[in-house]
Structure 1
Amino acid sequence: MQSSSEVRHWYGFFLALTTAVMWGVLPVFLKLSLEKMDPVTITWYRFAVAAGFVLIVLWRNNALPRLSSLNKHHAGLLTIASIGLIINYVLYLKGLDYLNPETAQVLIQLAPFMVMLGGIYLYKEKFSRLEWLGAFLLFVGMLLFFNNRLDELLSSLNNYSLGVIMIVLAAITWAVYGLLQKRLLRQMGAKQITLVMYTAGVLALLPFSSLGTLTQLDSLQFWSLAFCCINTIVGYGAFTEAMFVWHASKVSAVIALAPLVTIASMSLALRIWPDHFVASDINWIAYVGAGLVVTGSILASAGKSRPGVKG
Structure 2
Amino acid sequence: MTLHTTSGRWRYGLALALLTACLWGVLPIALSITLQTLDVYTLTWFRFLAAFSLLALYLAKTQQLPTLKTLRSTSWGLLAIATLFLGLNYLLYLQGLVQTSPANAQVLIQLAPVLMGFGGLAIFKERYTLTQWGGVAILTTGFSLFFHEQLKHLIASANQYISGSLLIAIAAAVWAVYALAQKQLLQQLPSSNIMLIVYGTCALLFSPFATPGQVLDLSPVQWGMLIFCALNTLVAYGAFAESLEHWEASRVSAVLATTPIVTLASVTVFSQFLPHLLPPEQLTLLGIMGAGLVMAGSIAIALGKHR
TM-score (norm 2): 0.83
Residue pairs, 1:167-206, within 5 angstroms? 167-206=168-207
Instruction: Tell me the residue number matched to 2:122.
Output: 121
Q: 1:250 to 1:132 in 2, by over 3 A?
A: closer
CA contact (8 A) 1:252 1:298 kept: no
Q: 1:161 to 1:136 in 2, by over 3 A?
A: farther
In structure 2, runs of 5+ residues without a counterpart are 1-5
Residue pairs, 1:45-194, within 5 angstroms? 45-65=46-66, 66=68, 68-70=71-73, 74-148=75-149, 150=151, 158-194=159-195
CA separation in 2, counterparts of 1:31 and 1:284?
26
**RMSD of equivalent CA atoms:** 3.0
CA contact (8 A) 1:32 1:221 kept: yes
Work out the percentage of aligned pairs sharing the same amino acid: 40
1:221 aligns with 2:242: no
Q: Which amino acid aligns with 2:187?
A: R
CA contact (8 A) 1:100 1:280 kept: no
Deviations 1:138-167 (A, max 9, x none): 433444344346567568852323333222
Report deviation, 1:239. 4.0
Q: 1:156 to 1:218 in 2, by over 3 A?
A: closer
In structure 1, runs of 5+ residues without a counterpart are none
CA contact (8 A) 1:95 1:164 kept: yes
Secondary structure of the corresponding residue to residue 148 of structure 2: coil
CA contact (8 A) 1:19 1:239 kept: yes
Instruction: Tell me the residue number matched to 1:302.
Output: 303
Q: Which amino acid aligns with 2:197?
A: V
1:236 aligns with 2:234: no
Deviations 1:112-153 (A, max 9, x none): 221121123323333332332333334334443443465675
CA separation in 2, counterparts of 1:295 and 1:110?
19
Q: Which amino acid aligns with 2:50?
A: V
1:212 aligns with 2:213: yes
CA separation in 2, counterparts of 1:263 and 1:137?
20
Number of aligned residue pairs: 300
Structure 1 stretch displaced more, 83-92 or 283-292 = 283-292
Secondary structure of the corresponding residue to residue 158 of structure 1: helix
Secondary structure of the corresponding residue to residue 85 of structure 1: helix
Q: 1:296 to 1:95 in 2, by over 3 A?
A: farther
Report deviation, 1:265. 1.4
CA separation in 1, counterparts of 2:212 and 2:139?
39
